[in-house]
């Protein structure tokens, strides 16, 4: 199953510059796989820690320190510690 997350940003450097991911402002994920789907869409494959029961805040930190975020995510995590795929769409210019 692919979960969709929309990020509003002036950049589409997500596919090349992603350094780490912050979930719910508490869990830093630095190990993940990603692939470019289209110019503004990236698919991320990552393991959600067992401490996350509901994903409400999703931030991607780029290598230059820029943070792309969405604070309106609401994805219940049914199977923690399993690998989930997220389709990230960057909107805006």
State pLDDT tens for residues 18-56.
788 888 888 898 888 877 777 777 778 888 888 888 888
**C-alpha angle with apex 38: 32 to 40, nearest 5 degrees?**
80
Q: What is the pLDDT of residue 93?
A: 42
What do you get for the CA distance between the two ends of the chain, in Å? 29
Asked if residue 14 lies in contact with residue 8, where contact means CB atoms within 8 angstroms, the answer is no
| This prediction's pTM | 0.69
Q: What is the CA radius of gyration of the chain?
A: 12
Please report, for the chain, the start and end positions of each structural domain, with discontinuous segments joined by +. Answer: 2-91
Which is nearest to 37 in space by CA: 1, 88, 84, 93?
88
25-29, 68-72, 85-89 — which one is most confidently predicted on average?
25-29
- Ramachandran bin of 92, using left for φ above 0, alpha for ψ from -120 to 50, beta for the remaining angles: left
């Amino acid at each position: 199953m692919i979960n969709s997350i929309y990020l509003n940003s002036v950049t589409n450097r997500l596919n090349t510059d992603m350094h780490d991911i912050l979930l719910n402002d508490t869990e830093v994920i630095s190990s993940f796989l990603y692939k470019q789907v289209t110019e503004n869409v990236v698919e991320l494959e990552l393991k959600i820690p067992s401490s996350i029961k509901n994903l409400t805040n999703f931030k991607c930190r780029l290598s230059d320190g820029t943070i792309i975020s969405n604070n309106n995510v609401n994805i219940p995590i049914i199977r923690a510690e399993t690998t989930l795929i997220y389709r990230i769409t960057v909107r805006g210019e």
